[in-house]
């Protein structure tokens, strides 16, 4: 397990993990995880890259405080880089962390070498009148989310394959029949670590001005599975349309939102490594 650290920056306290050496990469994680989320590290050479993953506000031990917007979180993470004496990074934003990654790239161009967006939110996400949003407000409320994930962990003990198949429909529009057992185990292991705390309930109300994307000048790689059922492909298409120096690859990754799971990740992994190098 990668160890976490707490650091007091000029913008507030941040929990973060750091491993490897070389090219600094700032990971901006998505929902229900924290600085221990290492799945996107897959295939990245720790001899060549320094991977820095802060817990976004409301996750892990990073307080939500006043850092409720992607713009405020961007300032917090730049303050983290200042405290670590890191001048320039590749920013790698995933899922609900996409909005913060975009704000960093747009407002701190001198600190960002390149931008990677994988399964990333790039515009308004959930319909405020839709059942997904209303359901999330209930089951991921900070007062009950511990119970939600406690039930998930219990079901993973009783019947992990059944739970993963049920959860799969939230991630992918592909068929859940004949899921490879090793890939089921990989997702089950990840689900055992999930906690929403105060972060996710804040995520689903975050938004961004489309003009922010147009301000991004750095080279940008956008990867998205056409089967993603958590963050629709429209988010990737929006990034390609609005970010001037961007390239979009739409992949047939079976696991949809969890693009890093399974053999299909090899294609995405190569694109990411080529872009980093």
* Catalytic residue IDs: 95
Rounded to whole angstroms, how far apart are CA atoms 235 and 232?
Answer: 6
In the chain, which ranges are E strands? Answer: 4-9, 12-20, 23-28, 49-54, 89-94, 112-118, 219-225, 246-251
**Between β-strands 49-54 and 12-20, what pairing exists: parallel, antiparallel or unpaired?**
antiparallel
Which tokens is 253 given? 């990754």
| CA 184 – CA 270 distance, rounded (Å) | 23
Contact criterion met (CB below 8 Å) for 269 and 43: yes
Return the bridge partners of 249, or none: 223
Structural contact between residues 235 and 121, judged by C-beta atoms closer than 8 angstroms: yes
């Amino acid at each position: 397990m990668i160890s976490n650290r707490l650091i007091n920056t000029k913008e507030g306290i941040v929990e973060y993990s750091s491993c490897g050496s070389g090219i600094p990469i700032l990971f901006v994680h998505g929902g229900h995880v924290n600085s221990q989320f290492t799945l996107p590290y897959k295939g990245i050479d720790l001899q060549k890259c320094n991977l820095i993953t802060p817990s976004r506000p409301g996750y892990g031990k990073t307080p939500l405080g006043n850092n409720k917007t992607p713009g405020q979180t961007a300032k917090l993470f730049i303050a983290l880089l200042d405290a670590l004496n890191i001048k320039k990074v590749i920013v790698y934003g995933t899922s609900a962390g996409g909005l913060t990654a975009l704000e960093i790239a747009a407002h701190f161009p001198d600190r960002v070498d390149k931008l990677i967006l994988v399964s990333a939110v790039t515009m308004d996400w959930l319909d405020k009148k839709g059942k997904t949003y209303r359901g999330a407000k209930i089951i991921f409320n900070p007062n009950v989310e511990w119970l939600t994930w406690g039930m998930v962990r219990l079901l993973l003990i009783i019947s992990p394959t059944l739970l993963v198949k049920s959860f799969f429909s939230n991630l992918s529009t592909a068929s859940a029949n004949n899921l490879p057992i090793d890939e089921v185990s990989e997702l089950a292991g990840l689900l055992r670590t999930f906690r929403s705390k105060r972060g996710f309930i804040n995520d689903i109300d975050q938004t961004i001005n489309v003009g922010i994307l147009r301000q991004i000048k750095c080279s940008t790689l956008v990867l998205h599975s056409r089967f993603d059922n958590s963050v629709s492909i429209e988010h990737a298409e929006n990034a390609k349309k609005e970010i001037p120096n961007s390239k979009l690859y739409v992949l047939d990754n079976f696991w949809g939102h969890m693009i890093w799971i399974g053999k299909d990740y090899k294609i995405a992994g190569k694109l990411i490594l080529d872009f980093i190098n």
